[in-house]
Amino acid sequence: MDESKGDVHLFGPRPAGQEEGSASVGSQVTPGSNGGPPLAEMVAEILRLKEEQNAVILAHNYQIPAIQDLADFVGDSLGLSRQAEETDAETIVFCGVHFMAETAKILCPEKRVLIPDPAAGCSLADSIDVDSVRAWKAAHPGALLVVYVNCSAEVKAEADYCCTSANALKVIQAIPEDRQVLFAPDMFLGEYLREKTGRALTVWMGECHVHAAIGPRDVQRMWSEKPDADLLVHPECGCVSSVMWHAAIGDLPENRTQILSTQGMINVVAESESKEFLVATETGILHQLRKLNHGKRFFPVKEDAECSYMKMITVEKLLRTMREGVYEVVLAPEIIERARLSIERMMAIV
């Protein structure tokens, strides 16, 4: 096993100003502390405008606490997609990164979808573009393409199936064994799926710079400090293969080591008798976990595993969105139609 794998960065730019392993400045901005109105006042105005405009606010689990606390729904990509589909609201305000807001627009083309900062991108989504995915497909005629939800609408439009970390395993298992499968863009999730399914997936070598940096040594260090804690690992993490291997040979207790989506972590913790958890993913999830589980303790496997793209969404920007109707997500109808097929095929499986 390559123990240095988690430290490798092959693709995907970091946001400007963020060095590897550093914390972002975005999360340290205290709403209302920069001379603007106090936080409570801004939140009240956001909620008033939300009612007035028949809008719903969706927030990803990695958003700053203030955004999570005022949202109508907080969840992972799959949960937020479902909420977007089910809502009666005329406007969806998406507090997350750009590909997530695009996914909401794909699922609800008749609704207005707004994102408070369109520059909130994703290093993983940026690791593959439509030209490279077309060339990859052309080099593998007859193969089916499964894309992880972290990619652009144009890339989704090229795919046969979409998937999220919550359902990737089921999606791969639903494809007949005799079909070759191309999986993009996350190599750690792809490797996890290869190991779990035993299938010879052809995997795109992309990564999320935040999760890839959570390596085997981080797990070992935290595990030695908290040997009684349960270990929850997101499959995008650089440590995922190592964790699976160590659990299989008994170095980590198999029954207390789980590889999960963020919503999977929330569900598992709610039902667990354990009192301590080591959490290997972006640290924004700790807010939900602590809020929902008093009496249980949560420790990040990597303290500075923070996505500065996610933290670009602030209360001030959300207030501007509610006041000015910026920034609307616009996609070509043809892209919506084709990308929607890959998402609908996923939804039909799970």
In sequence order, the β-bridge partners of residue 95 are 59
- Give the separation between CA 349 and CA 203, rounded to whole angstroms: 21
What burial class does residue 250 get, using C-beta atoms within 10 Å of its C-beta: 0-12 exposed, 13-18 middle, 19+ buried? exposed
Question: Closer CB to ligand SF4, residue 161 or residue 309?
Answer: 309
Cα separations (Å) of 219 from 127, 186, 250? 26, 20, 15
Our finding on whether 57 is near ligand SF4 (CB under 6 A) is no
Our finding on whether 258 is near ligand SF4 (CB under 6 A) is no
Question: Closer CB to ligand SF4, residue 18 or residue 242?
Answer: 18
Our finding on whether 95 is near ligand SF4 (CB under 6 A) is no
Tell me the window of 28-36, 77-85, 171-179, 208-216 that interacts with ligand SF4 (CB under 6 A): 208-216
Shortest distance, CB of residue 77 to ligand SF4, whole angstroms? 9
- Give the separation between CA 247 and CA 229, rounded to whole angstroms: 14
Q: State how far Cα 265 lies from the chain centre.
A: 13
Among 24, 282, 285, 302, binds ligand SF4 (CB under 6 A): 282
Among 42, 58, 210, 237, binds ligand SF4 (CB under 6 A): 210
- Sheet of 297-300: strands edge to edge? 257-259, 230-233, 276-280, 297-300
Show the binding pattern over residues 185-204: x = contacts ligand SF4 (CB under 6 A), - = does not.
--------------------
Q: What is the DSSP string of 200-263?
A: --EE--B--HHHHTS-HHHHHHHHHH-TTSEEEE-TTSTTHHHHHHHHHTTSS-GGGEEE--HH
Among 18, 61, 123, 164, binds ligand SF4 (CB under 6 A): 123
Question: Closer CB to ligand SF4, residue 125 or residue 247?
Answer: 125
Question: Closer CB to ligand SF4, residue 62 or residue 277?
Answer: 62
Query: For binding to ligand SF4 (CB under 6 A), which residues are involved?
Result: 62, 97, 122-124, 150, 208, 210-211, 282, 307, 309-310
